[in-house]
Amino acid sequence: MKKIIQKGRRKKIIIIRTIAFFLLVGILFECFDKTLRVANPYTIACVQGFYKEPENSLDVVMIGASEIFSGYCPTRAWEQYGYTSYSLAVSGAPGSVYKSLVRETLSKQNPKLVVIEINGFINDDAYYERPYFLHSYIDYIPDKDRRQLTIEEAIPEADRDAYGKSFGCNHNNWKNLKGCYRTFKTEMRLALEDVSYLKGYASKPTGSRRHAKKRHYYFTAKSRAYLTDLLEYCKKQGLEHVLFTRFPHANRYENTYALKQIEDLIRSYGYDFVNFDKYKKKIQVRKGENYYNPEHMNIIGGQKFTDYIGKYIIKHYDVKQEHPAEIKENWDMCAQKASEWIEEWKARSDDSGVEFLFEGEVN
């Protein structure tokens, strides 16, 4: 009888140890996977910071690619015009993820205005096939079902496994330990804070040493399909006010007929479109001086454009909502800190090696 009891106990011990072993392997695997991620740190800061905002506390949400986080400063808009906003931007975002960005916005917020910069729809189809930029967004969508839906919308079926099982993409990143460290450092800094101070803002103080070029607008059948799907989704969600825009760029763009096609499609759904690139002289953003490269405004350029588009938003849309005192105090605190950091970074404008001002750098 004793032998039977002892044998039973040994079995239990073996089972417990086996379970513990596989749990440990699973934990180590997950840690190994996370520390081998290489993602765009500015996108990480924008995306993860968005989910720190209290529910239904944002009056305006800005959506698009890196033009958004470098060209628009939410804390300045709060100081100057009194509305809350956030730059939910994904560096290199193709049109295939814009619907997902709107969906993520509506998962936490009920903004009175959504502003969408159209860069993701005006490139050739190769723009849709850049895994680094796609992973930098998709891997950080917190809700599993919405993440899977984004994968199905934006990724060809043959390539989806690399997104559902990120280790398949990350395991070779040991060759880029600097990128792994920068990604991990950004994630950790953001995890330690309860608030996003810069509200998705990221830029540099330096002027561009690169010459502006002639570029070409595209509006391919693929982009038309994604933009149409986005417009249908906005209508289905009952979004009354959506402003589609083109932010100022130093590069000169040809084939404006493609832009006209985009505008016509947007207006056919009853939404607004403004090409702010046409008003660069009025806004007083000057190439070289107010851009850190030909595609992105620097801190000074972003301040000028924030003032301009902020006035436009206040004039054309009723975006201001009454917020609790706690929300206002939090925004005042964030705006004060952001202003201090911006002034500090502006003082570094002559340093060619200056780092980006972004959430992961200042926390």
Please check whether residue 39 is in contact with residue 170, taking contact to mean a CB–CB distance below 8 angstroms.
no
More confident residue, 155 or 163: 155
Mean local confidence (pLDDT), 25-46 = 57
Q: What is the DSSP letter of 343?
A: H
pLDDT band, very low/low/confident/very high, at 214 (cuts 50, 70, 90): confident
Region 128-151 average pLDDT:
93
pLDDT tens, 341-356?
999 998 887 666 668 8
pLDDT at 6 over 70: no
Instruction: Supply 92's token pair.
Output: 């290199």
- Mean pLDDT, all residues of the chain: 86
Backbone φ/ψ region at 155: left (φ over 0), alpha (ψ -120 to 50), beta: beta
The pLDDT value given to residue 215: 83
Q: In this predicted structure, what is the pLDDT of residue 353?
A: 66
Q: What is the pLDDT of residue 363?
A: 65
Tell me the two tokens of residue 325.
């005192």
What local confidence, expressed as pLDDT, does residue 7 receive?
58
Cα-based angle 262, 134, 156 (whole degrees, multiple of 5):
80
111 neighbors 61 (Cβ within 8 angstroms): yes
Mean pLDDT of the 337-342 span: 95
Q: Tell me if 164 sits within 8 A of 321, measured CB to CB.
A: no
pTM score, whole prediction: 0.85
Does position 34 have pLDDT exceeding 70, yes or no?
no
- Over 60: is that where the pLDDT of 110 sits? yes
270: left (phi over 0), alpha (psi -120 to 50) or beta: left
Those residues with Cβ within 8 angstroms of residue 320's Cβ, 6 or more apart along the chain or in another chain: 59, 82, 83, 314
Greater confidence (30 vs 225) lies with 225
Q: How far apart, in whole angstroms, are the C-alpha atoms of residue 44 and residue 185? A: 11
**The pLDDT of residue 41:** 85
Q: What is the pLDDT of residue 60?
A: 98
The strand ranges marked E within 47-130 are 60-64, 85-89, 113-117
pLDDT greater at residue 179 or residue 68: 68
Share of the chain above pLDDT 90, in %: 64
Q: What percent of the chain lies above the pLDDT cut of 70?
A: 82
For residues 56 and 289, the answer to whether their CB atoms sit within 8 Å is: no
Summarize the confidence of residues 80-105 as an average pLDDT: 97
pLDDT tens sequence across 162-183: 886 554 444 333 334 455 657 7
According to the model, what pLDDT value does residue 62 have?
98
